[in-house]
Amino acid sequence: MNLPQGVILSGAKNPAGSTPAGALLDSSLPLRMTNRGPLRRRQQRARAFTLVELIVVMVLLLIVASMVAPRMSSFFRGRALSAEGRRMLSLINYGQSRAVAEGVPVLLWIDAGSSTYGLEIQAGFAGSDERAVTYTAEPTLTLETPTVAAEQASELDDEKLGLPEDLAVIRFNPDGFFDDVSVSRIVIRQGDEGALELVPAANRLRYEIRPVTIAN
C-alpha cells in the first residue's frame, strides 16, 4: 500500500531505528512561550499605575494633615495646661503630707515672674533641705498669684518671718493645715486659649483645680 510521504504507521521504524524528522511531537511535553514582549509591557503598565496611586495617596495625606494639624496643636497645648495644673496640685498635696510627717512647716513658693515654683522646709527649721524641689512651667504657660489684702495677725507682722521675700507662698503647718499667709489663688494661664486656677476647697483642708471663668 502506498502511503503519503512523511506518514508512518504505528510501530513502524525507519531503517536507522530512530524517530523520523517528520514525526509528531509528544503532546505530554510542556510548551514554552518564547515571546515575552506582551508580558513585560503589562508589568510596566502595572508599575506605572501603582506609582500614580502612590502620588494620589500622598496628596490626600497632605490635604488631611493640613486640616488636622491646627486642631492637633490646640489639643496638645490643652494637655500641657492640664498637666501643669495636675503637677502643681500633686506638689501641694505632697507638701501638706511632708509637713505632717516631718513635723516642720513646709513652704510651696511661686515665682510668677520666672514661671517657676518649688517646695522646701521653711528657713530656720532645718539646716539644709535635701529634698527641696524646683519646677519650671511649660514655655507657653504663665503663672499668676493675685494678691488679696490680708489682715495683719500680729503687731510685728512676725507671722511672715522665714518666708521668701516678694514670692507668693503656701505654708503648711505641722498639723497639715495651711495658714492665712498662704496665697488664696494660683492661676495657670495659656495665652488667650484657657486658664486653670488652684484655690482652697470650701473646707480649707486642701486645694482643688477648677477652670477660670471670664468673670474671674
Locate 204 and state its grid cell. 480649707
Ranking 3-17, 99-113, 152-166 by mean pLDDT, the lowest is 3-17
As for how many domains the chain has, the answer is: 1
Residue 174 domain-assigned (yes or no): yes
**111/182 Cα distance (integer angstroms):** 14
- What percentage of the chain's residues is helix, strand, coil (to nearest 5)? 30, 20, 50
Helix (H) or strand (E) holding 111: strand 106-111
- Checking if the pLDDT of 82 tops 80, the result is yes
How would you class 116 by CB atoms within 10 Å of its CB: exposed for 0-12, middle for 13-18, buried for 19 or more?
Answer: middle
Does residue 23 form part of some domain?
no
Per-residue confidence (pLDDT) for residue 24, from 0 to 100: 47
The set of cell numbers assigned to 103 is: 513635723
> Residue 111 belongs to what domain range?
80-211
**Comparing 10-14, 53-57, 146-150, which segment has the lowest mean pLDDT?**
10-14
Residues 45-59: pLDDT tens digits? 555 557 788 888 888
- Closest C-alpha among 116, 142, 147 to residue 196: 142
The pTM for the full model equals 0.61
The three cell numbers locating residue 127: 539646716
Residue 176 belongs to a domain with what CATH number? 3.55.40.10
pLDDT at residue 141 above 70?
Answer: yes
Q: What is the pLDDT of residues 149-182, one digit of tens each?
A: 555 545 545 556 668 888 999 999 999 898 888 8
* pLDDT for 105: 93
In a domain? residue 175: yes
Is the pLDDT at 6 greater than 70, yes or no? no
| 29 falls within a domain | no
116 occurs within a structural domain? yes
